[in-house]
Amino acid sequence: MQFLVRVSPRCLILQSEVQSFVERCMVAVGTKPSHASSLAEVLVDGDRRGHYSHGLNRMDMYVKDIQTGICAKDGEPSIVKESAATALVNGNNLLGPVVGNFCMDLAIKKAKEAGIGWVVAHGSNHFGIAGYYSMQALKENMIGMSYTNTSPLVVPTRARECTLGTNPISVAAPAADGDSFVLDMATSAVALGKVELHHRRGDIIPEGWGCDSQGKLSTDPGKVLSGGGLVPIGGCEATGGYKGFGLGLMVEVFCGILAGSQYSRHIRTWKVTDRVADLGQCFVAINPENFAPGFNDRMSDLLNLHRDLQPAEHGQPVLAPGDPERMSIQRCDELGGIPYHLSVVQHMNKFAKSIGVHPLLPSDRPVPE
C-alpha cells in the first residue's frame, strides 16, 4: 500500500473515513448501527481535539467489549426516576457514548424547562472524552458538565494502592461569537498514557506524576506502571495532592454514589473485562438565561483577558481551557484530515482484517513535519 512507503511516519486520514471505519468495525461485530455511529463520533472528536489516547487508538477495546458480549450491542438507555430537573438513568450496559448522549440530551431538555438538568446514569461503559458531552450544551448556549468514574489507576494521598480512577471533570461554557470555555481534565496529575509514553522512550517522568508500590513519588515510569499508580493532581501531600484526591472522590459522589453503580475499588480492573463495567456517570446542563443577563459577553471577557496576559516566557502564550484542542482542530481542518502515526494505521488494519472489515484508507495528502 502506498502509505507504507512514505518517508513521513505519519499520514492523513479524512475525518469521514475514520468515522466510517469505526462504524464498519463496530457493525461487523454486531453493534446496532446508530450506536456504532455514536461511538465513532466521540472517537473522531477525541482525535481531532488531539486526545489520541481517547480516539481511534481505543477502538479495539470497544470492539472487544461487543464481541465478548460484556457490553450490550442493542437496546436503549431507560429513565428509572425523574423530576423536572433531575433524572436517574439505567444505561442498560450499552456503549458509553449511547448512554452519554441519552443523558446529556435529557439534561439539556430539562435545563430548557427548569433552568438546570442533573442526570446520573448507572450501567454505563467507557464514554470516550468527557468534553464531548459537556460541549453538547454549547449548541444550546448552555453550560454543560460531564463526569465519569473509571477503573482504579490513582493512589490516594498517603496510601499505596489504587482506589480511584482518573475520574475526569468536564465543564463547558459558551462565550460570544462561538467562542467557549472547555475544561476537560482527569483528576490525576496526568493521564496513564503519558507515563506509558515515557516508559517506552526510556525517559524518566517529572516528580508528581506517579508513585511506586510503596506509595512514594517516583520518577521511574516502570515503577508507576508495575504495582504503583498515578497520583492525584497536586502531587504529594505538601503540594496539595490531597486536593486532587478530594476532587477524585467528588467525581465518585456525583457518579457512582449518586447513581448506585460500581465505584472506587469496586470497579473492575483497567482493561480486565471479566465482568460488566457498570460505570456511574453524571451529566449536567445549566441555562444561563435563568441567571444574570450578559453571560456570553462576560465569558468572552474572562477568556480574552487571560489570553491577552503577558506570558512568563516569550512564545508561550497563556491559554484558556479548550484552546489547545481548538488549535488541534484548526490544524486538522487546514490539513484536510486527521494526522495519525503509520503504526496506528497498521495496527488498525491488522485488526480490521481479523474481523473481515475493509481497511482504513489514508488520504494521499502529505502531513507536513
- Report the site for a copy of itself in 245-284 (rule: CB under 8 A): 245-247, 249-250, 252-253, 256-260, 263-265
**Complex with a copy of itself: residue 27 or 119, whichever CB lies closer:** 119
Cβ-proximal residues to 117 (8 Å cutoff; 6+ apart), any chain: 85, 86, 87, 106, 107, 108, 109, 110, 111, 283, 284, 285
- x/- map, 179-218, a copy of itself, by CB under 8 A: --x-x-x---xx---------------xxxx-x--xxx--
| Contacts of range 326-330, beta carbons closer than 8 Å, 24 or more positions apart | 327/50, 328/48, 328/49, 328/50, 329/48, 329/49
Q: Which of positions 304-333 make contact with a copy of itself (CB under 8 A)?
A: 305-306, 309-313, 316-321
Which residue's C-alpha cell is 439539556?
Answer: 108
Check residue 298 for interaction with a copy of itself (CB under 8 A). Answer: yes
CA dihedral of 135, 137, 142, 144, whole degrees rounded to 10: -60
Closest approach, Cβ 271 to a copy of itself, in A, equals: 22
Check residue 353 for interaction with a copy of itself (CB under 8 A). Answer: no
Closest approach, Cβ 116 to a copy of itself, in A, equals: 5
Q: Which of positions 155-174 make contact with a copy of itself (CB under 8 A)?
A: 156-161, 163, 169, 171, 173
> Of 8-16, 52-60, 302-310, 359-367, which part binds a copy of itself (CB under 8 A)?
302-310
Q: Which of positions 20-39 make contact with a copy of itself (CB under 8 A)?
A: none
Give me the phi and psi of 209, to 5 degrees please: -100, -40
State the CB neighbour count (10 A cutoff) for residue 104: 26
Question: Do 124 and 91 contact (CB within 8 A), yes or no?
Answer: yes
Give the integer Cα–Cα distance in Å for 184 and 186: 7
Give the integer Cα–Cα distance in Å for 264 and 108: 28
**Complex with a copy of itself: residue 145 or 348, whichever CB lies closer:** 145
> Of 233-241, 267-275, 331-339, 353-361, which part binds a copy of itself (CB under 8 A)?
233-241
**Complex with a copy of itself: residue 209 or 340, whichever CB lies closer:** 209
**Complex with a copy of itself: residue 34 or 290, whichever CB lies closer:** 290
